[in-house]
Amino acid sequence: MKQTGKSSMKLYLDEIGGESLLTSLEEMKLAEKIQNGDEAALERLTKANLKFVVFIAKQYQHQGVDMEDLVSEGNIGLLYAAKKYTPSKEKRFAPFAAPFIRKQIEQLLLRQGADSQSRLSASLTSESKKVVSVEAPIPAGSRNSFNLLHVLKDTNALMADEHINDESFKAELERLMRRVLDQRQQQVISLFFGIGCEKHTLMEIGDFMNLKRERVRQIRDKALQKIRKIAKTSGIDE
């Protein structure tokens, strides 16, 4: 992360933003090659997951350590996880790597004189209470808005609806969620619906965020409730 006129973090995000996501099968093949000492496979697996390190590192901001250092330390944990990963149909690489990334970042914070895990937890709780501005207007009556509200009406049927894979649906959902959801709720919704990343199960999201599956479900459902409410009050009809 070299410093230039643009912030080093911004340049880094631009650089890793072009890395394509891997399928489960690709991860398994790469993991097998890594176990046989293939350095190119190790580089491919880690590069494809650098964005997840940033995702986790953001949860540890405001602890007296620069974001660049948090990410760099998280990348060490990612590399270690990549060397330890055993191919499995049940568990994708990112959820497997999350605990390694967290541990590495938390060790950095402790080395830098940060408080114990209780302070880290307090920081995460504080972050979750931050609410995004609700002043930006939403176009009413569009077909995409109708689809969104219609799809979100039944939480249990969400993943069976074809609209959730539509980019216009995701764009509308993202616009709404940035108005009314706190940071943690936005993270859950983004991971669940695959906004800017691959879609993940509640269990996988729990692994990312160090939460139990049921807690993730509660956060998701509360977030969707907020989105439905703002959609209706903004003139989006069912």
Q: Which residue segments constitute the domains of the chain, with CATH numbers given? A: 9-117 (1.20.120.1810), 161-228 (1.10.10.10)
Q: How far is CA 198 from CA 21, 24, 49, 190, 192, in A?
A: 7, 11, 11, 9, 8
Least confident of 163-167, 176-180, 186-190, 205-209: 163-167
Model pTM score: 0.55
In angstroms, the CA 133 to CA 182 distance is: 10
The pLDDT score that the predictor gives to residue 136 is: 36
DSSP type of residue 54: H
Q: Residue 32 is encoded by which pair of tokens?
A: 């097998």
| pLDDT beyond 60 at 147 | no
* Per-residue pLDDT reduced to its tens digit, 60-106: 887 788 899 999 999 999 999 999 998 776 678 888 898 899 889 88
Asked if 75 and 54 count as a contact pair (C-beta separation under 8 A), the reply is no
DSSP type of residue 17: T
Taking CA 201 as the corner, what is the angle to CA 200 and CA 203, rounded to the nearest 5 degrees?
125
The pLDDT score that the predictor gives to residue 109 is: 83
Residue 74: CB partners within 8 Å, gap ≥ 6? 53, 54, 56, 57, 101, 104, 105
The pLDDT score that the predictor gives to residue 210 is: 80
Instruction: Name beta bridge partners: 182.
Output: 131
The pLDDT score that the predictor gives to residue 219 is: 92
Asked if 105 and 70 count as a contact pair (C-beta separation under 8 A), the reply is yes
Taking CA 124 as the corner, what is the angle to CA 198 and CA 228, rounded to the nearest 5 degrees?
55
N-to-C CA span, the chain? 48
In angstroms, the CA 35 to CA 138 distance is: 51
In angstroms, the CA 104 to CA 65 distance is: 13
Residue whose structure tokens are 């936005």: 186
Q: How far is CA 6 from the centre of its chain?
A: 24
